[in-house]
Structure 1
C-alpha cells in the first residue's frame, strides 16, 4: 500500500483518534482507536476511504441521540442499527 499523499511505500496500518460530525449536524463526537494509515515519509495520518464509509454508514443507521461524546471505533461499529443497511445508497 502506498501513501495517498506522497506515494511512499512504507506506510503503517495503525490507529488514531478522530472527531466526526454527526450526519444531523448537531455535534461532533470523538472516535478513539480508529484504523488509520500513517506515513513515516510525509507524516500524514489518514483514514482509508473504506474506513470513512464504514463510519458514515454506521452513523446514518444508528440512533444518534444515544451516541456518547467519545467512543471507540469498535464501540461505534457494535452500536445496534435501526436499519439493516443504507437504503439511500442507490449504487449498491
Structure 2
C-alpha cells in the first residue's frame, strides 16, 4: 500500500489509539482502534479523512453514556444528537 506522506509502497493498514479534545474544549477522550496507516519509513499515522470523521462524530454524537475511553466502532454506533 502506498504511504500518503512519502508515496512509497511501504504502508499497511493497522489501528492506532489516540486522544481528541471534546467540543467543550475542556476535556479529552481516548479513542481506541482508530483506522491508521503504518509506513516503514514514516511511522504510524491517522489519515486526514478518518481524523475529520472522528471530529464530526464527536460534535454530532450523544456520548453521555460513554466513559472517556471507547473504541472507534463505538463512536460510529453512538446515537446522534
Q: TM-score, normalised by structure 2?
A: 0.86
Q: RMSD value over aligned CA atoms?
A: 1.5
Matched residues, number:
81
Unaligned runs of 5+ in 2: none
Partner of 1:2: 2
Q: Hey, what's the Cα distance between the residues in 2 that align with 1:37 and 1:22?
A: 24
Partner deviation per Cα, 1:43-63 (whole Å, 9 max, x = no partner): x21111221111011111023
Shift of 1:71: 0.2
Q: Hey, what's the Cα distance between the residues in 1 that align with 2:59 and 2:72?
A: 15
Partner of 1:70: 69
More strand by share: 2
Which has the larger Rg?
1
Shift of 1:64: 4.5
